[in-house]
Amino acid sequence: MDEQLISKKDLLALTAISYGQLYRWKRKGLIPEDWFIKKSSYTGQETFFPKGRVLARIAKIQNMKEDVSLDDMADVFSPKADTQAMDGDDMVARGIVSAAALDIYMKDTGSTVPLGFADMVHAYLFGKMLESGDLALPEARQMLDVLRTAEIKNGDAPIALMLARKLGVFVCVALSPPADICHDRDMRLIANVSMPAVIEELKCKLAEGGKS
Amino acid sequence: MSGNENMELKINGHGSAAGGTYKQVRINGHGKIEGDIVCRDTFVINGSGDAKGAVQADKLSINGVGNFEGDVEADTLKVVGTSTFKGDVKSDTLFSVSGTADLKAGLRAGKAKVSGSLWAAGDISAESFESSGSFQTKGLLSADIIDVRLHWSKSRAAEIGGETITVKSVAGLSALRSLFSVDTRLEADVIEGNDITLEHTRAKVVRGRNITLGTGCDIDVVEYSGELKRTGGPRVGQEKKV
């Protein structure tokens, strides 16, 4: 994947943050270590960042900064599971999942409320895929099956899901990123789902909901 | 796991223990701990101690020789003697070295205070970092406040980053130092911060808002967005207002 890079200097100028802030956010884990890309230049070494991701992250940090401490924010951006559990009604009220999708999810899995974090992630993704219209119900179920199997196999390692259709037949593959995939031309990619990104989205929603 | 969280583990003379959870651990003499150990209160080494596993303690004091093979986590960690750490070291409130600490990985601390020597192969990160001794890291030294007083020895970091960075040489010693030709300075490839004040510093690049360069500085490139001041004739290869 070729992602556009931005130099540290340009990043600071563009976002109006200081060196002190950038280093503090790095220390707290708000900006992941592997986004600091070192490249040699005429002045020795310069640091670059994946432009899209770092700008989005900084915007989020600046939005949250007034209400959330840096340490709590670090939890939001960490792909680690939360200990939080939540009632179904709460999840619906906070707009994490629609009542209809949650209802199907609960019946399918036989889960009981309150839902643990893993269930919250699954229900969130399930609802999101159904509501966007990208997946039909049996396909979304199949996706969750693949995801659960991959989670057992991968443990804490990050997971990405590749969702595709070929001649109308749905295919779901779990990957350990970074992975390059080569697929045949007739395959139509529906979505690449990065689970750490899904978890981050969910945690952001939870943190925002916690404010009100 | 053996031990009881209300008990004290004491090794006097020569001995070894398996590990476990204790209230206090004291090694007076020569002690070895074979497994992971959790100490709710104080862990003291007077003499020499070897920990083969991970160590967690509220207060960890090394007054003789310490050798830690696993990760070490404490609220306050004091090295008065000599200590080697093979794993990551985390000290939530205070990490202080008045002896010698040799870290094969990195350090994370609330406040880090060096009056002896600190060597780290990995990054040093703290809320505040104070040195009146000598330090070296092959990685990044990062803290909100970095305050370095140069006395007799050389310090080095690949990168230094923070909010306020101050490097000063201790006055009155310069004549003596030149007499003994001691090379007292701080070396870094890159120094970046909001407000930077430097003396006796050799760096390839210094970037920041307000920068003051003093005596004994040798900087290839300076980039600043606010103000650049010079005192005492520093060497500056190239300066750029950004």
State the best of B124, B146, B163 to mutate against chain A, taking most chain A CBs within 10 Å. Answer: B163
C-alpha distances (whole Å) from B172 to each of B116, B182, B201 are: 20, 14, 18
pLDDT tens-place string over residues B94-153: 999 999 999 999 999 999 999 999 999 999 999 999 999 999 999 999 999 999 999 878
| Domain end among B88, B122, B156 | B122
Residues near A45 by Cβ (< 8 Å), separated by ≥ 6? Answer: A38, A39, B189, B190
| Chain B residues bordering chain A (beta-carbon distance below 8 Å) | 108, 125, 142-144, 161-164, 189-190, 192-194, 204-205, 207-209, 220-221, 223, 242
Instruction: Provide long-range contacts, Cβ within 8 A and 24+ apart, for B71-76.
Output: B74/B43
Same domain? For B132 and B241 the reply is: yes
pLDDT tens-place string over residues B93-108: 999 999 999 999 999 9
Quick check: B82 and B65 in contact, CB under 8 A?
A: yes
Q: How many angstroms separate the most distant Cα atoms in chain A?
A: 62
Same domain? For B136 and B230 the reply is: yes
Quick check: B27 and B47 in contact, CB under 8 A?
A: yes
Here the ipTM equals 0.86
Structural domain count of chain B? 2
| β-pair partners for A57 | none
Which residues does chain B have within 8 Å of residue A20's beta carbon, measured at their own beta carbons? 144, 162-164, 193-194
Strands (E), B122-179: 124-131, 134-150, 155-169
Of B162, B204, B242, the CB nearest to A44: B204
| Gap between the Cα atoms of B223 and B133, Å rounded | 29
Same domain? For B168 and B238 the reply is: yes
Residue environment code for A160-185, b if the CB has 16+ CB neighbours within 10 A, otherwise e: bbbbbbeeeebbbebbeeeeeeeeee
Per-range mean pLDDT, top range of A11-25, A143-157, B177-191: A11-25
Q: Is the preceding omega at residue A178 within 30 degrees of 0, hence cis? A: yes
C-alpha distances (whole Å) from B162 to each of B41, B165, B166, B194 are: 33, 7, 10, 7
| Domain end among B72, B96, B122 | B122
**pLDDT over threshold 90, residue B200:** yes
| Gap between the Cα atoms of A179 and A1, Å rounded | 10
What's the average model confidence in pLDDT over A48-63? 89
Q: Please give the residue range of the domain that contains residue B88.
A: 1-122
Q: How far is CA B31 from the centre of its chain?
A: 26
Same domain? For B103 and B160 the reply is: no
Same domain? For B58 and B114 the reply is: yes
Same domain? For B110 and B130 the reply is: no
